[in-house]
Structure 1
Amino acid sequence: MNMALDNAGSEQLVEQKIRDFIETLLGGTVVSTDRLPRWRPAWNMELQRGNEILKLHIRGDRGGDVSPFPDDLRREADTLALLGQQGVPVPHIYGFCEDPLAIVMQAVPGTRDVSAASDDAERLSLAKQYIDAMVAMHQLPLDDFVAKGIALPEGAEAISLAGLDAYYPLYARNKTRPQPLLEFALNWLRRNVPQHRSKPSLVQYDSGQYLFENGKLTTLYDFEFAMIGDPLADLASARMRDNYEPLGAPFKQLYEYYQQVSGEPPEPDVVRFHTTLFSTVSTMQFSSTVATPKPGDPHDTYIEFDIALRRVVVHALAESMGVAIETPASSIKPTGPNAELLSMLRDAVEQVEVTDPFQSTKLNAVRKIVEYLGKADAMMLELQAQDMREAQALLGQRFEDHQKMEAALESFVTTAGAEHDLPLLTLFASQIERRVQVFGSTAIGASASHIDLPPL
């Protein structure tokens, strides 16, 4: 069953199947069901067994083809179970539901919002507790994880590029249009692999995610992309997350603490490499869903990810190359030829009344897309025209349309040498910075407008 289906009948059936499974698995009666207003299916439930109330979190299958790993939900459950057995603070896994696919796990108390901590000293303590847990995970033996099917890379190149090797088949399988920026980043990454990183570790890969309560870290969470690779990949992804979910202390200070606890030497260039790699594969992951949208997908979320991650790719490449990104001069038109029709659409959306929190979340997603569409109506043709003028100047040829330009640019970047890195980066930086100027004031573009890579 596709868990992304959201009509009332299918939603009720999904929830009933999960409740039935839990009651059979654990005994007792599910007395509370709370569908969380997230972009992927998730519930909190309470199970009563005699005088005991068991608090559960249900992590469902988000549907769509956006995961680099087959059977990713079961893989995550296995990984969490192994981590818990070896003392890493993660939710306890009670079981795995086959229909619909879902992990039944402990609902761990706490919040991720470090602004809720009592003061800066507590925030620093929490951040250090998180680093302690990360180091403990990185030092685990790997045999049990390999036995569960997690690939073990061998050699420095395979260890450094574990994330790329995991995500590339998904990207290649679903690619429907040219992706010149991503192909440029892939070319650069393959030419700049750290050749001395020869010790693999289990890495969360989408790291920086933890809960705390009363000054104590209660759990790490979200291991759907866990793999074996370079442990510094976790520092890179935590560094990116720190931009919108602060870790609790300046990243530079936490990286120094990581070195102290782990015994790792300082390797800022490797962290920069993995920042570029993680932002690239994350963009690859959602590139086809943006290029070829499918009904039922959380389109607002995917577009938000796409523009923000592309900007991080460009800024991470610039950081690794040691160059500054300049903001292009742009003239922004506030409205386009369909302004009146879009105004009517906004009015129609505002007239829709819903009381269910989950449906309210979906209605807000529509509002965000309509707002984004208004900016696109005003400026997309001009953005594409400017892209074409710059690409034509760089490649020395003219193009009939934007897609043919992107195809020619992709063909060029896949084999371009280091001598072309700076002019190509300049071109891609201009493209994404102009888009942030246009869309950054929208709810979808807000993340992209605030990206920042903390200093190392």
Structure 2
Amino acid sequence: MTAETSSKTFDQDQFKAECIAGITDWVAENLGGTVVSTKRLERWRPQWKVSYTVDGQEHAVLVRGNRPNAGEHDLRFEMDVMAALEANDIRVPHIYGWMDTPKAFVMTWIDTEDRAPGMLHTAIENPTTMSDERWQAMLSYMDHLAQVHAVPVSEFTHIKSLSEPPETAADIALRATERMYMAGVYTNNNDSVFEFLQHWLRRNVPEHRTKASFIAGDAGQFMSAGTEVLALLDFEIANIGDTHWDLACFRGRHPYENMGDIPALYRRYEEVTGEPVDLPVVAYHTVAFLQLAGIATKFFGDPKAIGGNWIEGMLEYASITRRACEAIAELQGFELDYDLTLPEPAFKSLEESALQKMLADIARLPTSSAFQDWERDLLHAIPEFLLNHSRYRDWFEGESIRDINELTGGRHTDLTAADKAIVALIAHNDSDDDEALVRIMHHRSLRLSMIIAGTNPDPDNPLFHILDPILAAAD
């Protein structure tokens, strides 16, 4: 068992040394190059920019490692998808191949301006902006996305997860979310919010959408220079499904990554494809995309995973589940209440003392190339959250129990029992209680966001950004 795979024996310096040695050997053997530098990038997965020389000329590649809790197949899947896209003249980085140490695949490094990492914890501190040039590139990206959707499904059937394209409207709409839902079941990462979202998705399938296409899965991610699109990126959840899933991704990612005028992007897509965008279907797939992304955030919290980003998972969980409720509310035509106020904090002396001690000691931890400043900051953010959570936990649980008891008629006094009651109601709900359930789930997610931020809802904080509506703009 290596340092890369064992949490008991893991050593940061050893891990770094093994990775650099493996990368150096791979570059020499496969690219005929001599590595001159490796730089680990700030992401929740290990990635490196690797610079090397061949005959005195400098080149660079990106070594893309695996997400925590993901299997080797998941990373190979993304590599195979990108290779198929490259073979069909889609503008993706050239794929050089697979390496075993570290488990990663290698692609051309794209020289461009810094791209926002698309993480909420960074967007809160440094909100992303949209320059005029990036906006023109965004519009051009819609042309490239249309080309991606036009690649025949048959070009991907050699890839195991894409070998049997969906045929019915229900399978097209639900395949990705059913897989993620079952992953949540198997790992005990589902909760009452995801139970409701999946039941809602099953009951509201767009039956008229029967064309299956290749979809990026997490669309909107690309590198640009000025107004030019240089390369499309991030195909780890690519699938065969409804193209409107990809259109929904723009709403799901914004404003963590500023996507600009989303309705204008949809109009550009219509111009390029010659087909109208069905906005209610985009709204449906907004819920679907957020369901998948929301369950994925729960995997960030695995304490046995090496690396990862626990606090990003918590931030995204609170924001994503709330915005999924907002997507349903817009589609079904009812208003949600944001008029919530934090109570006075309840200070618990033991937790205050212990967590303040952790914060002080983490702040003093030495950093190195193996444990960088940004990694220490992410670790520091965990007890910061727990300190706030301890101050408002009783309020959060009490309000959540009260909401559930009002709907179910129960007299529960603890949140675990109340959650079991609402899950039982969801299992038998035929839409009569949808509005009440959405309001309960929305308030719960909003309260969690308030605890994380330590403030009442603040529209200037991306954590509280309300999902941009799309249906009213079409009226």
Aligned-pair CA distance for 1:454: 4.7
Q: Which amino acid aligns with 1:58?
A: V
Equivalent of 1:303 in 308, 314, 323: 314
Equivalent of 1:294 in 304, 311, 332: 304
Counterpart Cα distance in 1 of 2:340 and 2:29: 63
Equivalent of 1:168 in 178, 181, 190: 181
Greater CA drift, 86-95 or 325-334: 325-334
Where in structure 2 are there 5+ consecutive unaligned residues? 117-126
| 1:265-309 CA distance string (max 9 Å, x none) | 23110000000011011112233554x643534211221221121
Equivalent of 1:155 in 135, 144, 168: 168
**Aligned to 2:97, what secondary structure does the other structure show?**
strand
Greater CA drift, 269-278 or 155-164: 155-164
Q: Which amino acid aligns with 2:149?
A: H
Residue equivalent to 2:105 = 103
Residue equivalent to 1:239 = 251
| 1:23-71 CA distance string (max 9 Å, x none) | 1111121111111132210000012111222210000112314x7xx70
Counterpart Cα distance in 1 of 2:305 and 2:238: 28
Counterpart Cα distance in 2 of 1:136 and 1:406: 45
Q: Give the alignment of 1:249-288 within 5 angstroms.
A: 249-287=260-298
Greater CA drift, 39-48 or 108-117: 108-117
Aligned-pair CA distance for 1:316: 1.3
Aligned-pair CA distance for 1:384: 0.5
Q: Find out whether 1:195 has 2:207 as its counterpart.
A: yes
Counterpart Cα distance in 2 of 1:129 and 1:357: 38
The answer to whether the 8 Å contact 1:91/1:108 transfers is yes
Q: Find out whether 1:26 has 2:31 as its counterpart.
A: yes
The answer to whether the 8 Å contact 1:211/1:218 transfers is yes
Counterpart Cα distance in 2 of 1:415 and 1:6: 49
- Sequence identity, in percent? 28
Aligned-pair CA distance for 1:447: 4.5
Q: Find out whether 1:455 has 2:470 as its counterpart.
A: yes
The answer to whether the 8 Å contact 2:134/2:224 transfers is no
**Aligned to 2:372, what secondary structure does the other structure show?**
helix
Q: Find out whether 1:410 has 2:453 as its counterpart.
A: no
Equivalent of 1:226 in 216, 238, 250: 238
Residue equivalent to 1:45 = 50
Counterpart Cα distance in 1 of 2:413 and 2:334: 32
Task: Assess, with a 3 A threshold, how the Cα gap between structure 1 residues 84 and 346 changes in structure 2: closer, same or farther.
Answer: same
Residue equivalent to 2:399 = 386
Aligned-pair CA distance for 1:455: 2.9
Greater CA drift, 100-109 or 446-455: 446-455
The answer to whether the 8 Å contact 1:73/1:102 transfers is yes
The answer to whether the 8 Å contact 2:215/2:241 transfers is yes
Q: Find out whether 1:128 has 2:142 as its counterpart.
A: no
Q: Which amino acid aligns with 1:449?
A: F
Residue equivalent to 1:91 = 93
Where in structure 1 are there 5+ consecutive unaligned residues? none
| 1:117-165 CA distance string (max 9 Å, x none) | 7x52x33321111000000000111212012221411122111223213
Counterpart Cα distance in 2 of 1:227 and 1:127: 22
**Aligned to 2:432, what secondary structure does the other structure show?**
helix
Task: Assess, with a 3 A threshold, how the Cα gap between structure 1 residues 147 and 287 changes in structure 2: closer, same or farther.
Answer: same
Q: How many residues align?
A: 446
Q: Give the alignment of 1:288-437 within 5 angstroms.
A: 289-290=300-301, 293-296=303-306, 297-334=308-345, 336-337=347-348, 338-356=351-369, 358-437=371-450
Residue equivalent to 1:140 = 151
Task: Assess, with a 3 A threshold, how the Cα gap between structure 1 residues 229 and 25 changes in structure 2: closer, same or farther.
Answer: same
Counterpart Cα distance in 1 of 2:286 and 2:321: 12
Using the size of structure 1 for normalisation, the TM-score is 0.91
